[in-house]
Amino acid sequence: MNPILYRYKDTESVIKVMDGYTPGDGWEPLYGSDEVKAATNAALERAALECYRWNNAHNAAAAIRALKEQP
């Protein structure tokens, strides 16, 4: 897992990963980049399906799906 957010122990304190910085003791990975990418892709697919279902908007659905291909 490549973490992008860390949480401090059982608190609500969260920090974002920065280049060259590794959180110290007590910080635990909260979300990994793979999890975030999968959740984003799922949300984009749901949005594309809704566009198609409500408006038969092929171009809007295609544009949303194209976002999934970006890194």
User: Domain spans of the chain?
Assistant: 3-67
pLDDT in tens, 45-64: 887 777 777 666 667 777 77
DSSP secondary structure string for all residues of 34-70:
HHHHHHHHHHHHHHHHHHHHHH--HHHHHHHHHHTT-
Total-model pTM? 0.53
pLDDT in tens, 2-45: 777 788 887 878 777 777 777 788 888 877 778 888 888 888 88
